Amino acid sequence: MKKVIYTILTLMACNFSQAQVKQKMVLDNEFVNPAPENRPRTWMHVMNSNMSKVGLTKDFEAMADAGIGGIILFNVSAYIKDGDEKFNSPEHIDKIGHAAAECERLGLSFGVHNCDGWTSSGGPWVTAEHSMKQIVHREMVVEGGKINLKLPDPTKRGDYYKDVAVIAYPALESEVITSEIKPEVTSSSSDFNIDMVIDGKIDERNWLKVPEKGLSWIQWDFKKPHTVRSFYLNCEKKKENGITKLQMSNDGINFKDVVDFKVLRQGKKEYAIDKHFDAITARYFRFVTDMDFEISEINLTGVYRFNDMLARTSLFMQENHRLPSLDQAPENMIVKKDEIINLTEFVNNNGVLKTKLPNGNWTIMRFGYTITGAVNGPASDEGRGWEVDKMSKASFKTFFDGYVKNVIDVSKPVAPNALQYIEIDSYEVGGQNWTLGYENYFKEHFGYDIMDFLPLYAGRYVENTDTTERVLWDMRNFTSKMMTDNYFDYFTELCHDEGLISYVEPYSFNAAFNELDATKKVDIPMGEFWMRGYFKTETAVSGARIYGKNIVSAEAFTALPKVNWRSHPGQMKLSGDKAWTLGINEFMFHRYAHQANTNVAPGMTMGIWGSHIDRTQTWWDNAGKSWFKYLARGQYMLRKGIPVSDLLVFVGDGTPNSSYKVNSISPKLPDYVNFDCINSDAMINRITVKDHKMVLPNGISYYMLNLKNMKEVKLSTLRKIAELAEKGIIITGDKPEQLGGYNNSLVDKQEFEKLVKLIWSAPNTLKNKPWEEIYNSYNIPKDLVIEDGNDIGYTHRKTENEDIYFFYNPTENEKTFKCTFNVANKIPELWNQLNGEITKVAAFNHNKNGTTITIVKLSSEGSVFVVFRESSNNVTSIQADYALNTPLVQAVLSKENKIEFNISKAGVYNVKLNNGETKTIKVKQISENVDISSNWKVSFPTIKSEQKTFNFSELIDWTTHSNEEIKYFSGTAIYEKSFNINKKVLAKDVKLILDLGKVDIAAKVILNGKDLGVIWKAPYQIDITDAVKKGGNVLKIEITNQWTNRLIGDENYPDLSGYYDSKEMPEWYKNNEPAPLGKRTTFTTYNFFKKGDDLIPAGLVGPIMITFKQYKTIK
């Protein structure tokens, strides 16, 4: 097995058998300079077949130098002009081998996404036979007697269709009425093919375009008043949201709104409207919209069917607890199970049915399966193909061997250590509800035949409402199990067979599977978070914890187009800090665009998508490097020990289900409560009880269990909950209403009633008692309470000898927090991942209840690790409230645990110690601040004009400069100045701080030839004590801004690149030649800006001050 697997297993084992002193030294050293495995990784996108060996080498060398630990290589085709490197061709595979070899040489880890595009698992070598499948049907009403007719063909996508069964049953009243009426269907567009969209098949599509004025519409004229109950539409659409509604009229002129529709995203590009509603009677009906739709089928019918049919049959993702209960169907609208006749044997190969039916009206349904039509994407023509069947191991093996195996075979010999993993990214390709042999697998699992309930796939009630609900519940559970076993689990199995590990984003917004189940076998589950917006991390975090995986990765800093080149590390930090508090401990950047041409900047993009974390970024070598080190330090800390949470939230047995977010828990959780979610498998098989706490095999423990999604429950789950109740576990949340599923015996139901009674009569089973009351009543210690810290999340990890807390300041203002930690008799330490400094706090109180109070001061959007590891026995500390109320005095402990003060204002300070003493500190004088804001020499080395150095008598924003090259400058400018320091202020007990004031966006400070580091977030302050000298000093500050202003400035000049006027990538780009820029200085493959756009602040604005602090030590 690969080296990385041993590393991961080592991290998970957390062997802390070394002596505490030696361990402390290791912890300190590895925090300052984390090992390579702690570095952030990145997705690297080869865009639209633009790939070069020289570009790959340069990219990887830049990554290794900057502090990125590894990559996952993607091929994506979107928004960019096509190059020549065709996906999965021998040339493409050869370049992937080169990439792997370079990663081996440079010490980077390497892997690939499992197909072309970012979703999900498909390719042109996947035949229809091996692709995703769904049940389809056609139906008709006939009179009894001799039957000799050609059955209508169901949908046949991809030239693939297989019959499942032909059945008949006594026609329902609504079916008979609907079959007798043939409405006249028209539309607002003469170009729209009505016949195509009312043929009962979801195959061909055509556009219904919105006119310049008004709405587009499709109209049904039933010639007389007619009752309708259901509406269905299958389509593609372009606009995200808009008007979709049903109108009615009795005169064909005056229409009124009667039903609003929600458009469901069923697949990557497939959308649907699926709505059952109360009966409405009128002659005319209209579907109206303000969106362009490419429609394949539309149906307005009076047939009675159950609501949310797509979701209930696993063709759309709607969480089980959000599915409304089924309406109680009238008896004359229900298909009776024992009246269904299977006619399959009477149908020949041409679909002709010859049989005899009893007198009366009969509904004949022909069921079969076709492919869903889902394809991977966004992919190139050479890499795009059917999505593989998610319920068939044989099909998935064929898919895996078609590309991934090619990559493994070329990479293993040249990169035996670098090649470590394969990934399945974002699942956006929709659901499936059938596969070859599905009916047999179902019967084997549940003990009854799904073929007896086929009308459910047509939205009909079978037997009664309760039976319908129960069988649909089983269907969704089984579909999820089939997908988990044969897709997610089997993918990891194949990776392991090759000595690799798996990365998976185990969630979806349009496929109906249980997310936590999908994390069980995955080696590294992934979440995702977007810049200051969307966070989807809960399934990856909870799944990792309940199944014993130490590393939780996340697609990190994904950004919408408005962020574009404006992004920078200081802007991204806050989103990353939040992700850490949510449990993520590995960032996988979204994204790095492969720069196939090494002569242009900023160069290749991923079209509209960011963040732009590329070697061509202006800030890559300064702010980028420093930020990557910040992330590596944080990730090192967040992989130590095990996480601490008080609450387990059970997500329920109903399918589909996903992990709950904090705002979904009721009553509202206080900020001091951290929780994880758990599924029935982990709860039954991995939870034990010790000391009145639920404990996982990895040592994570929980005080309380909250039950969600409990309308239906499995008997095995209920038995486990009863066991926990009997062992004293605190249980809150929803009470189950019934056993889930169809095939439950009377004995099962009796046991259900008994167990429910046992659980809800247990003294520790509470309904919805406020959490504060529970904590107080059961003496549960609060893990971390931050006074006046509303909505501040935190994370806590615990080793054998350390408690490690992390939290951040979400505001733009400096804040001081009074914190109470659930730790006793240890010194709090502040670990600053910005610079690697470790500071022991001198102001803290120990409480009798085993908690510690200390004061944490955080800058604007600042963050900190608070670590407890060293005993506080015989250590004198300051009262915490003194530190809170005296902000001009900062107190720390020296290595020998003597109290040291940093004081920024002269005065007399009476310091209260926790031993009852009061110490007086006198500071007679502190030097006044020195303003060095004026008269700087500023160089802009990359501008085109001969003069590159300018005198700035005062500091200004570059965008206000009269020189247009400075006004639009992007890159790094160098500020230089000499200043004098009086030797009187350079006493041993004085610290000097350089405060740069306002900076956009990063500053590297060099004083007297000594590199003091890069400041990449506010406040732009740095300690210069060790570099300053008496008399003359030479200060150099390298200031970097973003690409935005230069890109806007270049819009003043014509584009000579030929890129935007070409269908393919220009030859100069493909040949790795410089771009024909003319007066421009930049080239990029996606233009976010236009001439005259607002510039963004840039440069060093100041004021620049040298400030002084004085040290004092209490003896």
- Comparing C-alpha atoms, which of 288, 303, 157 is closest to residue 229? 303
With a pLDDT cut of 90, the percent of the chain lying above it is: 92
Give yes or no for a contact between 351 and 85, defined as CB atoms under 8 angstroms apart: no
Q: Where are the alpha helices (DSSP H) in 638-745?
A: 680-686, 715-726
- Answer whether residue 560 is part of any domain: no
3-state secondary structure of 390: coil
663 shares its domain with 812:
no
Band of residue 301 on the pLDDT scale cut at 50, 70, 90 = very high
- Answer whether residue 625 is part of any domain: no
Domain count, the chain: 4
Band of residue 26 on the pLDDT scale cut at 50, 70, 90 = low
705 shares its domain with 832:
no
Exposure b/e, 680-707, CB count within 10 A at least 16 = b: bbbbbebbeeeeebbebebebbbbbbbb
Each residue's pLDDT tens digit, 680-704 = 999 999 999 999 999 999 999 999 9
- Answer whether residue 482 is part of any domain: no
Determine the pLDDT at residue 345. Answer: 98
Determine the pLDDT at residue 352. Answer: 98
**Average pLDDT of span 931-949:** 97
- Answer whether residue 805 is part of any domain: yes
CATH of the domain at 669: 3.40.50
Determine the pLDDT at residue 883. Answer: 78
Each residue's pLDDT tens digit, 433-475 = 999 999 999 999 999 999 999 999 999 999 999 999 999 999 9
Determine the pLDDT at residue 24. Answer: 59
**Average pLDDT of span 1075-1098:** 97
Determine the pLDDT at residue 4. Answer: 40
1094 shares its domain with 953:
yes
Do the bridges between strand 524-530 and strand 553-558 make them parallel or antiparallel, or are there none, so unpaired? parallel
pLDDT surpassing 60 at residue 8: no
**Average pLDDT of span 139-161:** 98
Give yes or no for a contact between 121 and 387, defined as CB atoms under 8 angstroms apart: yes
885 shares its domain with 957:
no
CATH of the domain at 1092: 2.60.120.260
Give yes or no for a contact between 423 and 503, defined as CB atoms under 8 angstroms apart: yes
769 shares its domain with 649:
yes
Give yes or no for a contact between 128 and 358, defined as CB atoms under 8 angstroms apart: no
Long-range interactions of 1023-1028: CB distance < 8 A, separation 24+: 1023/991, 1023/992, 1023/993, 1023/994, 1024/992, 1024/993, 1024/994, 1024/1106, 1025/990, 1025/991, 1025/992, 1028/981, 1028/986, 1028/992
Determine the pLDDT at residue 221. Answer: 98
Each residue's pLDDT tens digit, 326-365 = 999 999 999 999 999 999 999 999 999 999 999 999 999 9
**Average pLDDT of span 141-146:** 98
Q: Residue 694 is part of which domain span?
A: 642-773
Band of residue 17 on the pLDDT scale cut at 50, 70, 90 = very low
1035 shares its domain with 1013:
yes
Give yes or no for a contact between 317 and 656, defined as CB atoms under 8 angstroms apart: yes
Q: What is the DSSP letter of 988?
A: T
Each residue's pLDDT tens digit, 845-901 = 999 999 999 999 999 999 999 999 999 999 999 999 887 888 778 899 999 999 999
Determine the pLDDT at residue 1114. Answer: 79
**Average pLDDT of span 566-588:** 98
Q: What is the overall mean pLDDT for the chain?
A: 95
Q: In the listed set 303, 338, 355, which residue is the last one of a domain according to the structure?
A: 303
Long-range interactions of 955-964: CB distance < 8 A, separation 24+: 955/997, 955/1099, 955/1100, 955/1101, 955/1102, 955/1103, 955/1104, 956/1099, 956/1101, 957/1000, 957/1097, 957/1098, 957/1099, 957/1101, 958/1041, 958/1045, 958/1098, 958/1099, 959/1045, 959/1095, 959/1096, 959/1097, 959/1098, 964/1049
The number of angstroms, rounded, from the C-alpha of 638 to the middle of its chain's C-alpha atoms is: 18
792 shares its domain with 726:
no
Q: In the listed set 731, 754, 773, which residue is the last one of a domain according to the structure?
A: 773
By residue count, the chain amounts to: 1115
pLDDT surpassing 80 at residue 961: yes
pLDDT surpassing 60 at residue 19: no
Band of residue 23 on the pLDDT scale cut at 50, 70, 90 = low
828 shares its domain with 947:
no
pTM of the model: 0.95
Band of residue 25 on the pLDDT scale cut at 50, 70, 90 = low
Determine the pLDDT at residue 992. Answer: 97
- Comparing C-alpha atoms, which of 129, 420, 113, 426 is closest to residue 268? 426
